[in-house]
């Protein structure tokens, strides 16, 4: 047979092969097995001249597998494809990618035949990654282009390559090849997941999914994002990262990755699992991921930023000497056009406080500049970037050098003051708690200009003790306890410490009476300012806050003026305060105001219809 294979003219070779393929389905098993031996011999000896015939050969093999009944036919076809791939790998991969979706079980077995030898498997994996990245992941429908509901439809080549990767990696023998290409596989599949969230199947495949697959078809989910998630999970299992997979399984991370609402959190949990269980893999993964951080696809930038940001939450960043590169990568995206990316950048920078707290002082100026810049992000009065900046500052202010913080302290206090009366509970809570942290770091060293902000914030903080949201009331307790020492009034500070401990029931009327007595005794010159601030809350949208306002003003009955222990001087003119906005001017004057405009009209109190009213 070898002599025939070597001497057969090229024009007769393909004819003989096709005849042998026909014989694979012969009901006489001996004939079928003889055909198998001849096919393999011909391919081994003369396969090098068959490159142009590869698509035809692969197509014939697939059709014969569907027709033949003998158990020996499938292994024979697998070996034939394997022999062809050792000589024409790219052509075989391209031909198999042309198979219709969803893949039938025979095509799946042909893909798996390409994974039995590590060197060939590595070639196949590399080609599939290239095919997956070459084409756009989706196309926008005409409805989206006309301004109606967005409708993104998956393109076939990347979808086919994703399904093929899953089949190849389901073979245990592919393990060494997966380890060799670990960074590339992880990054390409993660990016594939990110850009297929919410992407639909083409209509013809949707119809097949609804009708249900036939028994001959693979039962895997063909939905674009789910197939990518399944393939990523399979890749981690095959590469020995079982602990990462188990952690994601336990935390529901895979399900989160599949959904638009949970994808960001899913990427965060994946990064956390990688940092804990696959740390040595991260340097090469990050090197490969760097090129995707400026991707044209917004979803990919969000995913990569969420992943990098969470790595800074672990000491692995410092242990593996990745800290500087991570900070550099995040800093490069501070001006990204996507608000979610800018928000995640700030989260990552703030994560340094828990991942590498001893490095915060070194990078303090860079971190504070980024956070303060985030407070002024865009024109949205409820910018999620500003919220993340307040949360980040609360984590960092205790770890940076005091002189680094001092230069921006006043600006931060002025900028966050309007958020005390935001209609959104998260903004009220974050701004008030940050105000408490600012006071805490200033204990024993509070400048008069900042003390003026402290006094100006007393009325809102006291009234928001009656806020309908428990988290806001709790933040007010904390902030007032932190303000006490800076007021240089031991009696007032002691009252705050006594009545406002967490978990202690508060008798608001009694506490307010005590507080007002101390304020009138020690700060008589400020009573007019406090009363004016309270007037804004008489028509607050929050019932309990509205009820507290007249109670507060009623406690300020006239008393003989005593000798004050300390009088904070008024603020300098606001035109000297860099970055002071209209809303900040209202805050400096002691009255609540929306984060993007002046103080509310006294006829409208703080709250959803008052303090956050537009300009």
Residues 6+ apart with CB under 8 A from 405: 364, 368, 397, 441
Among 106, 188, 196, which Cα is nearest to 156's? Answer: 196
pLDDT on residue 1: 56
Beta-ladder partners of 139: 153
pLDDT on residue 142: 65
pLDDT on residue 344: 97
pLDDT on residue 600: 40
Angstrom CA distances, 111 to 105, 217, 560, stand at 10, 14, 92
The fraction of the chain above a pLDDT of 90, given in percent, is 59
Radius of gyration of the chain from Cα atoms?
34
pLDDT on residue 466: 95
Which contacts qualify for 572-578: CB closer than 8 Å, 24 or more apart? Answer: 572/449, 577/410, 577/411, 577/414, 578/411
The predicted-structure confidence for 262-284, as pLDDT tens digits, reads as follows 999 999 999 999 999 999 999 99
Which contacts qualify for 502-505: CB closer than 8 Å, 24 or more apart? Answer: 502/474, 502/477, 502/478
Q: How far separated are the first and last CA of the chain, in Å rounded?
A: 90
Which three-class secondary structure state does DSSP give residue 140? strand
pLDDT on residue 209: 64
Beta-ladder partners of 140: 152
pLDDT along the chain (615 residues), means of 10: 64 80 77 82 82 90 80 85 94 95 93 95 97 91 59 93 96 96 97 95 77 55 94 97 97 96 97 96 94 89 97 91 94 94 97 95 95 88 93 96 88 94 96 96 77 89 96 97 90 92 90 90 84 89 92 62 43 33 37 39 46 37
């Amino acid at each position: 047979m070898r002599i025939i294979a070597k001497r057969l003219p090229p024009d007769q070779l393909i004819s003989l092969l096709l005849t042998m393929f026909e014989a694979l389905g012969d009901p006489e098993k001996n004939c079928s097995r003889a055909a198998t031996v001849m096919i393999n011999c011909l391919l081994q000896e003369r396969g090098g001249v068959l490159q142009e015939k590869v698509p035809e050969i692969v197509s014939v093999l697939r059709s014969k597998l569907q027709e033949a009944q003998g158990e020996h036919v499938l292994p024979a076809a697998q070996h034939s494809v394997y022999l062809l791939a050792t000589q024409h790998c790219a052509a075989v991969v391209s031909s198999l990618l042309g198979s219709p979706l969803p893949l039938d079980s025979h095509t799946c077995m042909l893909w798996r035949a390409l994974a039995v030898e590590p060197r060939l498997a590595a070639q196949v994996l590399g080609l599939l990654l290239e095919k997956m990245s070459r084409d756009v992941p989706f196309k926008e429908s005409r409805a989206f282009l006309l301004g109606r509901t967005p409708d993104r439809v998956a393109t076939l080549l990347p979808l086919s390559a994703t399904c093929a990767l899953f089949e190849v990696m389901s073979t245990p023998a592919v393990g060494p090849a997966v380890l060799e290409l670990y960074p590339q596989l992880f990054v390409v599949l993660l990016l594939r997941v990110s850009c297929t969230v919410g992407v639909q199947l083409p209509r013809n495949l949707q119809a097949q999914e609804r009708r249900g697959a036939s028994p001959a078809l693979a039962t895997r989910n063909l939905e674009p994002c789910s197939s990518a998630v399944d393939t990523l999970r399979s890749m981690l299992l095959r590469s020995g990262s079982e602990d990462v997979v188990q952690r994601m399984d336990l935390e529901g991370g895979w399900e989160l990755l599949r959904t638009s609402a949970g994808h960001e959190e899913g990427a965060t949990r994946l990064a956390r699992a990688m940092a804990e269980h696959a740390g040595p893999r991260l340097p090469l993964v990050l090197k490969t991921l760097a090129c995707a951080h400026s991707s044209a696809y917004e979803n990919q930038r969000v995913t990569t930023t969420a992943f990098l940001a969470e790595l800074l939450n672990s000491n692995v960043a410092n242990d593996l000497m990745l800290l500087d590169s991570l900070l550099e990568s995040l800093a490069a995206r501070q001006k990204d056009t996507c608000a979610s990316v800018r928000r995640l950048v700030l989260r990552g920078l703030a994560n340094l406080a828990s991942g590498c707290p001893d490095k915060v002082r070194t990078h303090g100026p860079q971190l504070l500049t980024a956070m303060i810049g985030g407070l002024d992000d865009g024109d949205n009065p409820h910018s999620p970037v500003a919220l993340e900046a307040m949360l980040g500052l609360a984590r960092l202010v205790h770890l940076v050098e005091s002189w680094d913080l001092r230069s921006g302290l006043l600006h931060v206090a002025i900028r966050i003051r309007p958020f005390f009366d935001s209609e959104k509970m998260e903004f009220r809570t974050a701004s008030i708690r940050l105000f408490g942290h600012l006071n805490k770091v200033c204990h024993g060293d509070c400048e008069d200009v900042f003390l003026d902000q402290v006094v100006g914030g007393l009325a809102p903080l006291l009234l928001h003790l009656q806020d309908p949201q428990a988290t806001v009331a709790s933040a007010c307790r904390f902030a007032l306890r932190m303000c006490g020492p800076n007021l240089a009034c031991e009696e007032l500070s002691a009252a705050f410490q006594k009545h406002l401990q967490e978990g202690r029931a508060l008798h608001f009327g009694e506490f307010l009476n005590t507080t007002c007595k101390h304020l009138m005794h020690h700060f008589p010159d400020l009573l007019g300012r406090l009363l004016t601030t309270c007037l804004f809350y008489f028509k607050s949208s929050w019932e309990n806050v509205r009820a507290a306002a007249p109670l507060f003003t009623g406690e300020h009955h006239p008393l003989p003026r005593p000798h004050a222990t300390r009088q904070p001087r008024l603020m300098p003119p606001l035109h000297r305060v860099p970055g002071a906005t209209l809303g900040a001017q209202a805050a400096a004057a002691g009255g609540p105001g929306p984060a993007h405009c002046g103080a509310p009209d006294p006829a409208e109190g703080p709250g959803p219809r008052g303090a956050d009213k537009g300009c």
